[in-house]
C-alpha cells in the first residue's frame, strides 16, 4: 500500500545528511512535520512542493490517520458557525472549495449532499436566524425551507419551528482522501516515517534535533512538559534505542498531542495545557427512516460540539453523534456504555427524527476533540460561549533551533480546512 518513500521506523533510517534546506544548514531534512493526520499530511504534501524541499512526515502509529482524522463525521463543513475574522471561518471556506476540487479531480469519493439545521422551538429558531444571517454576510449559500417543502422532501424529519438548508455542505471518504495525500506527498519525493513516536526535540544552531523512540514507547503525557528541561539541550545520545534526525523547520501537527509537543520545544512560560472533549457515535441498523441529507439540531452556544446530528457515510449508512463528554486522557476512546446517556441521545435524535427505532441504535466509535480550554464551545456567536479559534503560528523568540510552525486546537472543521491550513502554513514560512 505504501510507496517506496514510506519508512517503517525512523530509527532504522539512515539519512545521507546532504539536503539543501530553507536555511543555511546541513540538516537531514528541510522540514519535519510531526503527526500524519489529515492536517499533517496536507502540510507535508504542500511543503514538499517547494523547490529543493525534503520533507519528513513523522507518525508514531504504523499507519497514517488513525487518530482523530479517522474518528470524525467526515463532513465537508460550509463554514457557517465560526464568526467573522476567525481562522476557522477563513480556512473552512477556502478548504471546502479546495477539498471539493481535489476530490473531483482525483476520484476521491465525496458527495455534496447538503445539510438541514432544524429547530423545534422559537428559541432554537433564533439560533437558526443567527446562522442564516452570518452565512449571508459571508456569501455562503443558505436558505430557509418552507414547511411544505420540508414535508415533501424529508417526510420523516421533524422541524417544528423551521429548517435551514446549507447546500454547500457535503461528505468525504476521509480514508481515501488521506491515502491520496500520502501518495502524492511521497511521489513528489517526501518521506513518511511510520511507527516513530517523537519523544524529544532540541534546538541547535538553525536546526532541530528530533528523537524518536521504538514504537509503543511511552511518550510525555499531554499535560506534562517534556522529559528535558526546556532551554537545555538534551544529551547527544539518550536512550540507546532512540534515534534522531535533524531538520531546519519544525511543524507541530500532532493533534491531541500537539500541546505535549509544544511543551517539548517552548520554554515553560509558553507551555499549554490540553483539554479533551470526547464524542461518541451511534450506529443505526434499520433502513428506515433514512433522510437523504444531513440533519443537525439547532446549535447551542457554549456546547462543545454541534449537537447529536445525523450524518451519512459514502456507503449511505446513517450514523448519529457525536455527543460531548469531557475526559482527562486523549486515549480514552472506548464508547461510554452508560444507559442513561444512551437514553438522552435517543431523546435528542427523536426530537428531529420521531420515527427512529430506538432498538436499532447502538454504540459505535469515539473521537476526541483537542480543546484549548475546558468547556470551550464549538460555535462563535460573538457573545461569549467560550469559542476558541485554531492556533496556527510561526513561533518567535525561540532560543536555538530553526523555524517552527505550531498548530494547536485543530478540532472541527479541521478535516474540511486541511488543504487551506497547509496553504496557510506555507504562507507563514514563505510569504
Ligand atoms: C468527534 C469529531 C468529529 C469531527 N467531525 C468533523 C467533521 O465532520 N468535519 C471536519 O472538517 N472536521 C471534523 N472534526 C475535526 C477533524 O477530525 C480534525 O480537525 C482533524 O482530523 C485533525 O487532524 P490532525 O491531522 O490535526 O490530527 P490527527 O488526526 O489527530 O493527527 C495527529 C497525528 O499526530 C500523531 N502524533 C501525535 N503525537 C506524536 C508524536 N509524539 N510522534 C509522532 N506522531 C505523533 C498521531 O498519532 C496522529 O496520527 C471532528 C473531530 C472530532 C473529534
Q: What is the pLDDT of residues 13-72, one digit of tens each?
A: 655 443 333 444 589 999 999 999 999 999 999 999 999 999 999 999 999 999 999 999
* Nearest CA, atom 19, ligand 1: 414
* Nearest CA, atom 52, ligand 1: 72
- Residues 251/32, Cβ–Cβ less than 8 Å: yes
Which residues are near ligand 1 (CB < 6 Å)? 34-40, 58-61, 65-69, 72-75, 77, 197-198, 219, 253-257, 261, 279, 322, 367-369, 410-416
pLDDT at 7: 73
Residue 98 resides in a domain = no
Among 345, 371, 397, identify where a domain stops.
371
210 exposed, middle or buried (CB, 10 Å; 0-12, 13-18, 19+)? buried
pLDDT at 1: 28
Q: Report how far residue 99's alpha carbon sits from residue 180's, in angstroms, rounded to the nearest whole number.
A: 12
Query: DSSP letters along 27-75, please?
Result: -SEEEEEE--SHHHHHHHHHHHTSTT--EEEE-SSSSSS-SGGGSS--E
CATH number, domain with residue 400? 3.50.50.60
Q: What is the tally of structural domains in the chain? A: 2
Statement to judge: residues 357 and 392 lie in one domain: no
Residue 413 has pLDDT above 90, yes or no: yes
Statement to judge: residues 12 and 156 lie in one domain: no
pLDDT at 234: 43
Statement to judge: residues 182 and 268 lie in one domain: yes
Q: Report how far residue 19's alpha carbon sits from residue 29's, in angstroms, rounded to the nearest whole number.
A: 6
For residue 279, the ligand 1 atom closest to its alpha carbon is 1
Residue 117 resides in a domain = yes
CATH number, domain with residue 163? 3.30.9.10
- Residues 77/92, Cβ–Cβ less than 8 Å: yes
Q: How far is the CA of 59 from the centre of ligand 1 (A)?
A: 12
Statement to judge: residues 363 and 347 lie in one domain: yes
pLDDT at 373: 94
Q: Report how far residue 58's alpha carbon sits from residue 13's, in angstroms, rounded to the nearest whole number.
A: 12
pLDDT at 228: 34
Q: Report how far residue 261's alpha carbon sits from residue 305's, in angstroms, rounded to the nearest whole number.
A: 25
Statement to judge: residues 297 and 359 lie in one domain: yes
For residue 38, the ligand 1 atom closest to its alpha carbon is 25
Q: How far is the CA of 70 from the centre of ligand 1 (A)?
A: 8
Statement to judge: residues 268 and 283 lie in one domain: no
Q: How many CA atoms lie within 13 A of 300 on its CB side?
A: 14
Q: Which of 58, 75, 255, 329 gets mutated to test ligand 1 (max ligand atoms within 8 A of its CB)?
A: 255
Statement to judge: residues 343 and 280 lie in one domain: yes
What 8-state DSSP symbol labels residue 260?
H
Question: Residues 340-386: pLDDT tens digits?
Answer: 889 999 999 999 999 999 999 999 999 999 999 998 888 887 776 78
Q: How far is the CA of 91 from the centre of ligand 1 (A)?
A: 16
pLDDT at 288: 93
Lowest mean pLDDT among 76-80, 131-135, 223-227, 413-417: 223-227
Residue 61 resides in a domain = yes
Q: Which domain holds residue 184?
A: 6-68+176-272+387-430
The three cell numbers of residue 191 are 518521506
Residue 138 resides in a domain = yes
Question: Residues 196-238: pLDDT tens digits?
Answer: 999 999 999 899 999 999 876 655 444 433 333 333 344 444 5
Q: How far is the CA of 65 from the centre of ligand 1 (A)?
A: 7
Q: How far is the CA of 33 from the centre of ligand 1 (A)?
A: 14
Residue 84 resides in a domain = no
Q: How far is the CA of 360 from the centre of ligand 1 (A)?
A: 29
The per-residue pLDDT of the chain, averaged, comes to 89
383 exposed, middle or buried (CB, 10 Å; 0-12, 13-18, 19+)? exposed
For residue 39, the ligand 1 atom closest to its alpha carbon is 25
Q: How far is the CA of 297 from the centre of ligand 1 (A)?
A: 24
Statement to judge: residues 321 and 406 lie in one domain: no
Statement to judge: residues 363 and 223 lie in one domain: no
Among 371, 396, 416, identify where a domain stops.
371
Give φ, ψ of 62 to 5 degrees. Answer: -80, 0
Q: Report how far residue 45's alpha carbon sits from residue 67's, in angstroms, rounded to the nearest whole number.
A: 19
Statement to judge: residues 425 and 410 lie in one domain: yes
Quote the percentage of the chain above a pLDDT of 70.
Answer: 88
Q: How far is CA 27 from the centre of its chain?
A: 29
Residue 88 resides in a domain = no
Three-state DSSP at 390 gives coil
- Residues 206/25, Cβ–Cβ less than 8 Å: yes
Q: Report how far residue 343's alpha carbon sits from residue 336's, in angstroms, rounded to the nearest whole number.
A: 12
Residue 132 resides in a domain = yes
Q: How far is the CA of 259 from the centre of ligand 1 (A)?
A: 13
Statement to judge: residues 165 and 281 lie in one domain: yes
Q: Report how far residue 136's alpha carbon sits from residue 133's, in angstroms, rounded to the nearest whole number.
A: 5
The three cell numbers of residue 18 are 546532504
pLDDT at 380: 86
How many other C-beta atoms are found inside a 10 Å radius of the C-beta of residue 166? 24
Statement to judge: residues 181 and 267 lie in one domain: yes
Residue 219 resides in a domain = yes
Amino acid at each position: 500500500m505504501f510507496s517506496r518513500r514510506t519508512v517503517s521506523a525512523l530509527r532504522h533510517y539512515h539519512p545521507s545528511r546532504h539536503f539543501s534546506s530553507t536555511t543555511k544548514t546541513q540538516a537531514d531534512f528541510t522540514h519535519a512535520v510531526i503527526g500524519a493526520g489529515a492536517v499533517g499530511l496536507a502540510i507535508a504534501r504542500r511543503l514538499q512542493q517547494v523547490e529543493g524541499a525534503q520533507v519528513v512526515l513523522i507518525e508514531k502509529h504504523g499507519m497514517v490517520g488513525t487518530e482523530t482524522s479517522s474518528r470524525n463525521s467526515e463532513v465537508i463543513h460550509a463554514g457557517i458557525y465560526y464568526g467573522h475574522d476567525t481562522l476557522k471561518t477563513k480556512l473552512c471556506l477556502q478548504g471546502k472549495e479546495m477539498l471539493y476540487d481535489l476530490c473531483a479531480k482525483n476520484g476521491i469519493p465525496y458527495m455534496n449532499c447538503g445539510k438541514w439545521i432544524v429547530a423545534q422551538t422559537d428559541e432554537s429558531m433564533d439560533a437558526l436566524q443567527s446562522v442564516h444571517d452570518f452565512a449571508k454576510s459571508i456569501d455562503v449559500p443558505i436558505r430557509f425551507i418552507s414547511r411544505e417543502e420540508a414535508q415533501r422532501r424529508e417526510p420523516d424529519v421533524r422541524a417544528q419551528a423551521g429548517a435551514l438548508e446549507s447546500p454547500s455542505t457535503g461528505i468525504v471518504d476521509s480514508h481515501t482522501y488521506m491515502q491520496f495525500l500520502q501518495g502524492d506527498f511521497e511521489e513528489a519525493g517526501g518521506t513518511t516515517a511510520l511507527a516513530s513516536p517523537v519523544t524529544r526535540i532540541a534546538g541547535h544552531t538553525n536546526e532541530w534535533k528530533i528523537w524518536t523512540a521504538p514504537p509503543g514507547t511511552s511518550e510525555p503525557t499531554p499535560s506534562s512538559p517534556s522529559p528535558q528541561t526546556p532551554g537545555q539541550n538534551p544529551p547527544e545520545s539518550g536512550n540507546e534505542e532512540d534515534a534522531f534526525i535533524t531538520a531546519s523547520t519544525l511543524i507541530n501537527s500532532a493533534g491531541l498531542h500537539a500541546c505535549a509537543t509544544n511543551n517539548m520545544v517552548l520554554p515553560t512560560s509558553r507551555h499549554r495545557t490540553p483539554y479533551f472533549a470526547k464524542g461518541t457515535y451511534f450506529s443505526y441498523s434499520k433502513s428506515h427512516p433514512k433522510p437523504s441529507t444531513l440533519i443537525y439540531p439547532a446549535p447551542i452556544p457554549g456546547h462543545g460540539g454541534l449537537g447529536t446530528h445525523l450524518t451519512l457515510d459514502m456507503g449511505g449508512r446513517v450514523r448519529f453523534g457525536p455527543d460531548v463528554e469531557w475526559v482527562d486522557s486523549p486515549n480514552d476512546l472506548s464508547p461510554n456504555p452508560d444507559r442513561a446517556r444512551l437514553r438522552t441521545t435517543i431523546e435528542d435524535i427523536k426530537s428531529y427524527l420521531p420515527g427512529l427505532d430506538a432498538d436499532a441504535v447502538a454504540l459505535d466509535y469515539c473521537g476526541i476533540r483537542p480543546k484549548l480550554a475546558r468547556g470551550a464551545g464549538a460555535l462563535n456567536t460573538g457573545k461569549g460561549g467560550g469559542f476558541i479559534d485554531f492556533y496556527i503560528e510561526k513561533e518567535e523568540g525561540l532560543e536555538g533551533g530553526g523555524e517552527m510552525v505550531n498548530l494547536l486546537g485543530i478540532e472541527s472543521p479541521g478535516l474540511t480546512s486541511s488543504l487551506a491550513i497547509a496553504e496557510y502554513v506555507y504562507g507563514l514560512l514563505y510569504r
